[in-house]
Structure 1
Amino acid sequence: MQKDYPFYIKVPIILLGIVIAVFILSVLRDILVPLAFAGLIAILLNPLSNRLERKVPKIIAIIISMLIAIIVLAGVLYLLSSQVTHFFDDLDAIKHKLSTLLHDLQIWVQKSFGFSASKQTKMITEAANSSKGMIGQTLTGVMGILSVIFLIPVYVFLLMLYKTLILNFLYEVFSEENQTKVAEILSETKGAIQSYIVGLLIETSIVAVLNSAALLILGVQNAILIGVIGAILNLLPYIGGIIAIALPVLMATLTTDGFTTQLLIIAAYAFIQFLDNNILVPRIVSSKVQINALISIVIVLLGAALWGVPGMFLSIPVIAVLKIIFDRINGLKPWGKLLGDNVPTEHMGQLKRFTKRKK
């Protein structure tokens, strides 16, 4: 007989478990972040590898799948690198315009708030000194990114090679009566992640083309680079879209006179966001992964606090997997409903009162 512990005992235990889990995730960040990305990539490449295995040995199929992925990624990076080179060609003009804008801003602050130019300079210097620690963390993060670049291919290869071993472990670690439910969770999770990632790649490509085309028409410098960066940032729900609009607006401010171009950029990006949210996402991105707006924002911010920028991109796939698991386990179904975007018209209290009146 299962003992039901009182509320005041269960809550501290749950909170303690959450604290321990967060601590472990934070400490093992350098190991878990590349492993998480490798897991997503391995699931994405799995169908291609399975097809190739019908004609060639498994190891050869895995290597060919990874080479195809690397070639595609190298092509995208080559395109972006050519745009970055063009950006540095315009760097001197951008610096000159930026210094002019900062001088005008300094005069405006002095007239509006009474802060002298020397006092403003002192405040900026103090802020710069206080940010040295942050710069050091950023450099450490860059070194971490370089190590991830070498770790992820190794992880992807090994995960695909030992896929059967890992799946058998997941089946055997649970009792026989739960193996059917485990099989359903694994199958649905794999399908949801595959369709979700493929949908995101297609959606991101379309948004990148639309962004770049709009910026090229408006005459914004480095339009393709900014458009692609904006499309990648768009992967972050709500927060990324705001940053994506700010980048071309800032570039237009530094390279053009007046504010007409900035207003047109905002209008164009608002139209693209409308198309993305109402046409591209519902039709292209898998409907199996539906997380409500509140949870999306909170989980992205939590991912950023825990694992930085990689955590922001990993947060939505991770929470989508958790929702699939929650929906399959009776005791966790309320949590699955909380994560989803299916909003009921009435809450339980209203339904109970209506039932009592009817009786």
Structure 2
Amino acid sequence: MKIKDQPFYIQSTAVLFGLVLVVYALATLSEILIPLAFAAFLAILLNPLANRMQKWGVPRVLSIVLALSVAFITVALVFYFLSTQIIQFGDSLPMLKQKLGEVTITVKQWINTTFGVPITKQDQMVKEALNNSQAMLGKTLGGLLGTLAIVFLLPVYIFFMLLYKTLILNFLYEVFAEENSTKVSEVLKETKGAIQSYIVGLLIEMIIVAAMNSLALVLLGVKYGILIGCIGAILNLIPYLGGIIAIALPVLMATVTKDGFSTQLGVIGAYIVIQFIDNNILVPRIVSSKVQINALMSIVVVLLGNQLWGLSGMFLSIPFVAVLKIIFDRIEELKPWGKLLGDNIPTRHMGEMLRNRLKRKAVLPQNQQP
């Protein structure tokens, strides 16, 4: 007997049990699945370049190697640029540390004068907070080390995914029934388009935001404005949460290196304008892919991704849900879930339409009476 013929409580239990197993498998196999997920998305991104080279007569293996080389050189140039800024930042680190200590003492004295909290008690509270955050810090560092490990595995996975692309596609077609081949083709085509549009859009958005951040910080006289602006643009890739950290960094730098609060207020004002431009102009026109995920679901899946796979999960959550929506929209039983993830807001809800329909049915016999 099929599951869909069973009572609702049995169906819901089976679905819940399946979700628990999937989440458990994703968490347990995270060290293997995270590099594969990143590699799959990047392979889709590099696939057009490799295909173009093959059309020019370049052998398949060589075209894949050249596509990977272009990606590697691009990333290396970005890291070289950031490293030069970081070296300059390291030279001033002792001076910044001294000024940060002076600012900390001033803040403690202000708290003591304003709220009557002794400095010794403040030190104790800070110490307890640091002790409580050690586990979170260890998790963050573990996620960072895991991300660094991904970097070394990515080229290998991407190479083989591009090399065995035809084999993988044939498997996806053959694993489903022949009558579903049209739907499979549509899902694969839209998935490729959505991922390419999303990743390319993010890269363009990151470059524009980095330029705006750096220009604003340099004009405001914030030290290491280019470095902090670029870091803020990278953090901005984390939806909704990275922007908060991106604002905190230049405000902290201005607090340490500047007197008064005018620069901090200028940084906050500039970043508010940049975020407005980013959210209302750049994202809708550049980052928007063929699949739109509404803001509520975006926040939820980013938080769930962080809980499941840490920093990597936050980056992967949006394109992963976009792929799920493409699949949901193609399966009749899952279309309501696709609508829930989507960004199309209905003007009327189903309950109101149903009540109006029942009212019309109730009034109709009376109007037809002689």
Output the TM-score relative to the length of structure 1.
0.95
Q: Does 1:166 align with 2:168?
A: yes
Cα deviation digits, residues 224-270 of structure 1 (max 9, x gap): 11111111121222212222112111111111111111111111111
Q: For residues 294 and 301 of structure 1, what CA distance do their matches in structure 2 show?
A: 11
Asked if residue 277 in structure 1 is aligned to residue 279 in structure 2, the reply is yes
Q: Cα deviations across residues 27-78 of structure 1 (Å, max 9, x unaligned)?
A: 1111111111111110000000001112111000000000000000000000
Contact 2:211 2:229 (C-alpha < 8 Å) held by counterparts = yes
Contact 1:226 1:248 survives alignment (8 Å): yes
Q: Deviations over 1:287-330 (max 9, x none)?
A: 41311111111111111111111111111110111111111111
Q: Distance in 2 between matches of 1:289 and 1:234?
A: 20
1:326–1:336: 8 Å Cα contact kept in structure 2? yes
Residues 11-40 of structure 1 deviation map (CA, whole Å, 9 limit, x = unaligned): 122111111111111111111111111111
Q: 2:117 aligns with which of 115, 132, 136?
A: 115
Contact (CA 8 Å) 1:196, 1:289: kept in 2 or not?
no
CA distance in 2, matches of 1:300, 1:121: 34
The equivalent residue for 2:96 is 94
Match in the other structure for 1:317 = 319
Cα distance in 2 for partners of 1:45, 1:294 equals 31
AA at the equivalent of 1:304: N
Percent of matched pairs sharing the same residue: 62
The Cα of 1:109 is off from its aligned counterpart by 2.9
- Aligned length, in residue pairs: 359
Distance 1:243 1:127, change over 3 A: closer
**Counterpart secondary structure, 2:183:** helix
Task: Compute the TM-score of the two structures, normalised by the length of structure 2.
Answer: 0.93
Change in Cα spacing, 1:141 to 1:285, as seen in structure 2 (3 Å) is closer
Q: Does the C-alpha gap of structure 1 residues 238 and 105 become closer, same or farther in structure 2, counting only changes over 3 Å?
A: same
1:44 equivalenced with 2:69 (yes/no)? no
What does residue 4 of structure 1 align with? 5
Of 209, 212, 224, 2:211 maps to 209
Larger Rg: 2
- Are 1:296 and 1:316, in contact at CA under 8 Å, matched by a contact in 2? yes
Match of 1:289 in 2: 291
Aligned to 2:25: 24
Contact kept in structure 2, 1:204 and 1:231, CA below 8 Å: yes
User: What is the Cα deviation at residue 9 of structure 1?
Assistant: 1.0
Mapped partners of 1:297, 1:131: distance in 2: 23
The correspondence of residues 1-359 of structure 1 with structure 2, limited to 5 A, is: 2=2, 3-54=4-55, 55-359=57-361
- AA at the equivalent of 2:62: I
Matched residue type, 2:282 = L
Unaligned runs of 5+ in 1: none
Counterpart Cα distance in 2 of 1:61 and 1:231: 31
Secondary structure (helix, strand or coil) at the match of 1:277 reads helix
The 3-state SS of whatever aligns with 1:343 is coil
Please provide the CA RMSD for this pair. Answer: 1.6
- 1:126, CA displacement in angstroms? 3.4
